[in-house]
Structure 1
């Protein structure tokens, strides 16, 4: 579409009750970070209240009409996704504005390929709109979905704001309060010793406030519920309204674990989900499915976090295992079923689970897709340790285009499940202490060696032949085995991002160079040819809130892993001060960290921290070349085996990244003291000349 154009959604698809909006962007440097937002507007073009403003501090509506699903890596950048249930939009809402914003002084002019894509609930793309010529704007209204003559239409807008998200929100009638933001954040997870009192208070408040209607299971033919007694209404004192803050919420740090009451270290704590008794893959799959689905139903924040990405509405969730469904001569038994009820409507997904290194069976998934289509279910979700890649589905299925009802096929990795659980209980918090404890038990189960839910743990059968061929210099371009290794490497990198993001509480995304329009398959073939030429696997990770890009290089010729980051030179000050500050920030870093001075032309001085700490001036180029930055690197021997043993390649990557992030990246982000800053500013100009 072009700017200003509009079209009726009914002309594009027969099923537009729910739509998925994707906002995408990319950048040369790999930053590419922006945030989606949604505003519900009445006939006057204003919000009814601040509650109609949905952004990162208010991500979804209680009625499920708006859900911000968060970011996901795309072909060459990132995308932010929004789920809109148009059938649940209140009748007095005339327009749904879809916007995005950048923060921290960033502008949209630094991004490329700004694009909005709108798809139906089945994932079929309906329309696209690209924004060209962005400059100093830090917020954009991409488009709007609006009512006209009883039907929904879309209009391409592309209006920019230099005043950011706060200015955009104010323009639509929202009173923004970003002043006085507290430097500390309250933890939503209560201490364990207050769990019982919190639960008791919650139960008492619940019983005093209302008499709840008995809930029936979410099955196809539910019995008629008994008469509901009159509710008891208790007057409450309204709390003062709080204005929305567009400033990002602070990350809540985990609390220190309390000392155990065990007499001896050999005492094992009782676990909600025991693992050691599992003896077969079938037992692991059955228990893993039941554990996960039960926690999803009992911890709403966690269940919503997983199902929202699949287009499920917000509502009452129930989960089932080992359900028998008719199919031909013999019934089929999917591992699980998820049902969500909202406003009398049901959303249903069948679940097929695999643990350890077991792969999904295409014929099994095909059967479940056919069953879901016949029964009017919305989705089939596959769950395994593998990681799905764009343009490379894990299973190939056939879609019967003659069927009016469309079924979406989604994949979820155990690494993603672990990531979401870790983000909630360690950084973002959940509703109460009981939910936090249940999630903690789930996380313990997933990370246990016997659960079989360890994520991607095998580089595949092509790994050893490709490694040997590189050693023997017999690997030629066009070898399909090299493409298999590149795909496994991409899966591993995406899993590293999930694990690292859960530990840090920040978004960690892979950086993919090139244009977004590039075909993923062709890109992997090009990377495979590069692997054949130089014997290296390369990746770059962008960690939110940190400077530079974390680069990973696995050199299969030398058997060495290199993790590095480039730190740009400050805009002010003197080179000797830069070197001293850098070494002071890395005072606790490993002594074998390599530091290289980056200059405009040629190469600069380099050395290890052990050698440079006594003589910071050794980092200054002797010819007076202009310093553009510093490159910090750590080297480690690469694992050889393809699996998850101690000597495996995957384990060595995890260890190398963890050591570099903890020893180098994290210290770099600590702010220097005011005393050291004043000392650097007072550094005399002739100190540099004397050092040189």
Structure 2
């Protein structure tokens, strides 16, 4: 038998998964075991929840009694540091299975009764914002017990970034974390990528195209929530490749009031037919803005960059062109003039390469900033693959970052040059002061004497 057909032994095998229940049990056990074995990874996951550093213990299917019935949360995590402990129950879903409100509320009751700190849920659901939970529960049950959520995409991205970019202190622990990554990336693990815009997508898209969509229409809330989930998934996906924390960009008001963001999206969808959002990438010149125009059937990515504060307008345009040497000619440039309102001068990069003056509306006015944009046809299907909305957004955002954003650097002024005091001046003017000054060039001793004599 050829060795190519042999299955290599794995720490966390995918063979033998017979159904959803076995899939969830294996995923729970694998994840929690790795968290106890790889402190760097568990710390990366738990620190954002406000959990102090300490020894991590984990258990699966811990039994509890609640109102005369036996219930079994999928797992339990305990972090100990000295006499202090942080304990959370864990509920896990894989595949397309969604979290259940009634089940979560029962676990919250158990956590309160036992004096535990939190309930941690894990599923393929991606909430619109980090502060939101994908499942609604009775808020009264959250007075003494916190509820947190991890998506499998977040777990996989954090594991990859930790292993490949931040590093794991122990080589054997790095191998263990690599086995978890290998397992979660396997289709049979149940840890899925974001792959569906929801059952209301087609209906809402058609209504927007016909200009009959209204912000209070059924299905609108689900579509804008899934669009924000797509932005979070795009951030995790890009961050996994860059090895850094890429996050959706939200205003302070949107972070403080989670209801504000969907209202803004629904209003724009009704009036303009667009879905918009932005991604923050550390050390990039600006956010990566994403706009999906459902009426025009087009997705656009853009970023803004300040122009140099010195030089003629054409010098500033050339400064930008040099940074876009790897960008396609189809990139659209827009130049905004100082002390002006409204839209700026717009041209395609290919034309501006041939004639930079095309971006200059008035040679006597300074250019204050540029907008660089790249557009592509928008997919219409709700799932994943060719011709889908999700892939058209992901593909364009990746291409825009690779060809444009990662190559842009902000302008900085050159430091002032030291004046060379040894440079000779050809002749001292007849009206020069008899007293020597720093504004005068160096004089030969005889010339100084002659000048003094006069």
Superposition TM-score tier, normalisation by shorter sequence = 0.7 to 0.9
Cα 1:614–1:396 change in 2 (3 A) is closer
Question: Which residue is equivalent to 1:312?
Answer: 51
State the TM-score, normalizing by the size of structure 1: 0.54
Aligned residues: 409
Matched, 1:506 2:247: no
Question: Which residue is equivalent to 1:606?
Answer: 346
Deviates more, 1:658-667 or 1:609-618: 609-618
User: SS in structure 1 opposite 2:250?
Assistant: coil
- 2:76–2:89 Cα contact (<8 Å) kept: yes
User: SS in structure 2 opposite 1:418?
Assistant: helix
Question: Which residue is equivalent to 2:77?
Answer: 338
Question: Which residue is equivalent to 1:409?
Answer: 147
- Structure (1/2) with the larger strand percentage: 1
Superposed CA deviations along residues 632-654 of structure 1, whole A, max 9, x for unmatched, are 11111222222334433222211
- 2:307–2:411 Cα contact (<8 Å) kept: no
C-alpha distance in 2, partners of 1:472/1:415?
35
- 1:386–1:455 Cα contact (<8 Å) kept: no
User: SS in structure 1 opposite 2:219?
Assistant: helix
Deviation at 1:299, TM superposition (A): 0.2
Matched, 1:665 2:387: no
Q: How does 1:512-531 map to 2 (within 5 A)?
A: 512-513=250-251, 515=253, 519-531=257-269
Q: How does 1:257-656 map to 2 (within 5 A)?
A: 271-275=10-14, 277-389=16-128, 393-398=133-138, 406-513=144-251, 515=253, 519-599=257-337, 600-601=340-341, 603-621=343-361, 624-656=364-396
- Structure (1/2) with the larger helix percentage: 2
C-alpha distance in 1, partners of 2:373/2:168?
38
Give unmatched runs, 5+ long, in structure 2: 415-454
Superposed CA deviations along residues 283-306 of structure 1, whole A, max 9, x for unmatched, are 322222112111101001111222
C-alpha distance in 2, partners of 1:669/1:415?
30
Over aligned residue pairs, what C-alpha RMSD do you find? Answer: 3.0
Superposed CA deviations along residues 390-419 of structure 1, whole A, max 9, x for unmatched, are 675433334677x9x932221112222123
C-alpha distance in 2, partners of 1:606/1:412?
43
Cα 1:427–1:581 change in 2 (3 A) is same
C-alpha distance in 2, partners of 1:629/1:476?
36
Cα 1:601–1:284 change in 2 (3 A) is same
User: SS in structure 1 opposite 2:66?
Assistant: coil
C-alpha distance in 2, partners of 1:500/1:626?
35
Cα 1:469–1:400 change in 2 (3 A) is closer
Deviation at 1:625, TM superposition (A): 4.1
Cα 1:660–1:276 change in 2 (3 A) is farther
Superposed CA deviations along residues 78-100 of structure 1, whole A, max 9, x for unmatched, are xxxxxxxxxxxxxxxxxxxxxxx
Cα 1:440–1:617 change in 2 (3 A) is farther
Superposed CA deviations along residues 113-168 of structure 1, whole A, max 9, x for unmatched, are xxxxxxxxxxxxxxxxxxxxxxxxxxxxxxxxxxxxxxxxxxxxxxxxxxxxxxxx
C-alpha distance in 1, partners of 2:70/2:16?
30
- 1:569–1:629 Cα contact (<8 Å) kept: yes
- 1:369–1:407 Cα contact (<8 Å) kept: yes
State the TM-score, normalizing by the size of structure 2: 0.81
- 1:478–1:529 Cα contact (<8 Å) kept: no
Cα 1:297–1:570 change in 2 (3 A) is same
C-alpha distance in 2, partners of 1:517/1:576?
41
Deviates more, 1:601-610 or 1:639-648: 601-610
C-alpha distance in 2, partners of 1:418/1:513?
27
C-alpha distance in 1, partners of 2:403/2:265?
30
C-alpha distance in 2, partners of 1:455/1:329?
39
User: SS in structure 1 opposite 2:237?
Assistant: helix
Deviates more, 1:562-571 or 1:483-492: 483-492
- 1:320–1:338 Cα contact (<8 Å) kept: yes
